[in-house]
């Protein structure tokens, strides 16, 4: 009985977190999976068939080692990876180590998922320092708490699109017909927040829904950029009702963001590298005591969960480790 109650609690907690997370104005593909990472927001959004199914906090690259913006593809997965320390980081560490095996001291955590061209050195992986997530502090990779990284790796299909975006504001509507605004700091100094389009969208939405919005409240949110979501149409203390819907504010529209119509995804093979595969990326190795959620995964327990079983086949890649960057 206790186990059932705990499961229900976790489900409710996950649903609440998903419902309260501001959603960026981005159109995912209408069919298949799509990963969207918003740098200023430090969040990874996973869409399936155009619908948001998961949101994860992430740590992204710092200003001097930025996570590459643009369109990428999810590549192979390596469970229990060995970290091959790049020479640049070997010089920083000055401890003589060239590799770190799977285990609690591995900065990649229990899994590494390649993202984009291997030459970019990008990946989505776990960590041995969960308290460092979320944040803007990595060497370019996208860092997740290890349980999240494992769940993500078992869910995402190799070959799925991944978009790294830079939206400094989110504009959302809840099921009570209230409008919510959040603004974020500019870690890469992009200065790309189109306040004119945002204000145009807010005004158009207010007119269409018969609402009054105080411009001073909008100005204060855009000035402070705390990342907190603020209601523009309700009193202080009112909570979000139901799942949020993104408004297509980047085009100045008052309408909800719509998925991008796309052809059915091609049948793919999930690419799983042998356990212990060496991964050479510029991961960070925080000098901290590992948190409790760091874990090593037994290869016998790795069961990737396809979103579209009819289109999915699996193969174990036997690639030489020197092809990985």
Confidence of residue 17 (pLDDT cuts 50, 70, 90): low
User: What φ, ψ does residue 129 adopt, rounded to 5°?
Assistant: -140, 75
Which one of 72, 125, 139, 167 is the catalytic residue? Answer: 125
Number of independent structural domains in the chain: 2
Could you tell me if 311 and 246 lie in one domain?
A: no
Residue 19 lies in a domain: no
Residue whose pair of structure tokens reads 């949110």 in the numeric block: 221
Clarify whether 141 is annotated catalytic: yes
| pLDDT higher than 60, residue 324 | no
308 is written with which tokens?
Answer: 């579209």
48: nearest Cα among 60, 62, 36: 36
Helices 215-224 and 195-209, packing angle to 10 deg: 140
Residue 284 lies in a domain: yes
Per the model's pLDDT, the better-predicted residue between 20 and 42 turns out to be: 42
Q: Which domain holds residue 220?
A: 169-251
Per the model's pLDDT, the better-predicted residue between 267 and 170 turns out to be: 170
Per the model's pLDDT, the better-predicted residue between 34 and 19 turns out to be: 34
Over residues 195-218, mean pLDDT: 97
Residue whose pair of structure tokens reads 């949101």 in the numeric block: 55
d(CA 324, CA 247): 40
| pLDDT higher than 90, residue 55 | yes
CB 255 within 8 A of CB 246: no
98 is written with which tokens?
Answer: 């060239």
Domain ends where: 207, 224, 251?
Answer: 251
Over residues 170-190, mean pLDDT: 97
Per the model's pLDDT, the better-predicted residue between 291 and 144 turns out to be: 144
Please tell me whether residue 70 adopts helix, strand or coil conformation.
Answer: strand
Residue 20 lies in a domain: no
Across-strand partners of 246? 172
pLDDT at 94: 83
pLDDT at 284: 63
pLDDT at 304: 38
277 is written with which tokens?
Answer: 């595969």
3-state helix, strand, coil in the chain (%, to 5): 25, 25, 50
Could you tell me if 46 and 65 lie in one domain?
A: yes
Across-strand partners of 170? 182
220 is written with which tokens?
Answer: 């204060």
Q: How far is CA 135 from the centre of its chain?
A: 12
Name which of 3-17, 90-104, 145-159, 197-211 the model is least confident about. 3-17
| pLDDT higher than 60, residue 316 | no
Query: Beta strands of the chain (E only): which ranges?
Result: 33-38, 43-48, 51-57, 59-61, 70-79, 82-84, 99-100, 111-115, 123-125, 135-138, 142-143, 161-165, 169-173, 179-183, 230-231, 245-246, 268-273, 278-279, 312-316
Instruction: Kindly give the pairing relationship between strand 59-61 and strand 51-57.
Output: unpaired
Residue 273 lies in a domain: yes
Residue 80 lies in a domain: yes
| Percent of the chain clearing pLDDT 90 (strictly above) | 67
Clarify whether 234 is annotated catalytic: no
Highest mean pLDDT out of 234-238, 251-255, 259-263, 266-270: 251-255
Could you tell me if 141 and 272 lie in one domain?
A: yes
pTM (whole model) above 0.85: no
| pLDDT higher than 90, residue 268 | no
| pLDDT higher than 70, residue 183 | yes
Could you tell me if 151 and 277 lie in one domain?
A: yes
Could you tell me if 49 and 152 lie in one domain?
A: yes
The mean predicted confidence, pLDDT, of the chain is 84
Name which of 1-5, 196-200, 315-319 the model is least confident about. 315-319
For 239-277, letters b (16+ CB in 10 Å) and e give: ebeebbebbbbbebbbeebebeeeeebeebebbbbebeb
Residue 186 lies in a domain: yes
Over residues 182-198, mean pLDDT: 98
Could you tell me if 155 and 175 lie in one domain?
A: no
| pLDDT higher than 60, residue 305 | no
pLDDT at 189: 98
* Alpha-carbon distances of 207 from 69, 182, 200, 232, 265, rounded to whole Å: 35, 20, 11, 13, 39
CB 41 within 8 A of CB 24: yes
Per the model's pLDDT, the better-predicted residue between 310 and 23 turns out to be: 23
d(CA 297, CA 88): 29
Which one of 34, 72, 141, 231 is the catalytic residue? Answer: 141
Name which of 44-53, 93-102, 107-116, 157-166 the model is least confident about. 93-102
């Amino acid at each position: 009985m206790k186990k059932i109650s705990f499961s229900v609690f976790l489900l409710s907690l996950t649903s609440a977190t998903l419902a309260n997370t501001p959603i960026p104005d981005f159109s995912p593909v209408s069919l298949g999976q799509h990963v969207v990472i918003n740098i200023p927001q430090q969040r990874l959004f996973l869409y399936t068939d155009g619908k948001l199914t998961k949101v994860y906090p992430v740590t992204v690259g710092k200003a001097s080692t930025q996570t590459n913006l643009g369109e990428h593809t999810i590549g192979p997965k390596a469970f229990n990876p060995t970290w091959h320390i790049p020479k640049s980081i070997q010089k920083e560490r000055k401890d003589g180590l060239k590799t770190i095996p799977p285990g609690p001291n591995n900065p990649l955590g229990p899994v590494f998922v390649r993202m984009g061209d291997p030459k970019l050195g990008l990946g989505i992986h776990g960590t041995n320092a969960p308290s460092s997530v979320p944040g803007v502090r990595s060497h370019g990779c996208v860092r997740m708490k290890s349980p999240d990284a494992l769940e993500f790796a078992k869910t995402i299909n190799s070959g799925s699109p991944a978009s790294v975006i830079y939206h400094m504001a989110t504009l959302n509507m809840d099921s009570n017909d209230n409008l919510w605004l959040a603004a974020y700091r500019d870690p890469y100094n992009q200065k790309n927040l189109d306040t004119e389009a945002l204000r145009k969208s807010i005004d158009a939405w207010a007119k269409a829904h018969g609402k009054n919005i105080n411009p001073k409240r909008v100005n204060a949110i855009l000035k402070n950029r705390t990342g907190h979501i603020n209601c523009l149409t309700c009193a202080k203390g009112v909570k979000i009702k139901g799942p949020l819907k993104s408004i297509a504010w980047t085009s100045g529209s008052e309408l909800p963001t719509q998925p991008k119509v796309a052809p059915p995804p091609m049948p793919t093979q999930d690419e799983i590298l042998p356990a212990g595969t060496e991964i050479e990326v510029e991961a960070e190795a925080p000098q901290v005591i590992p948190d409790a959620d760091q874990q090593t995964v037994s290869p016998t327990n790795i069961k990737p969960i396809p979103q579209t079983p009819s289109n999915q086949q699996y193969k174990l890649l036997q690639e030489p480790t020197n092809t990985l960057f």
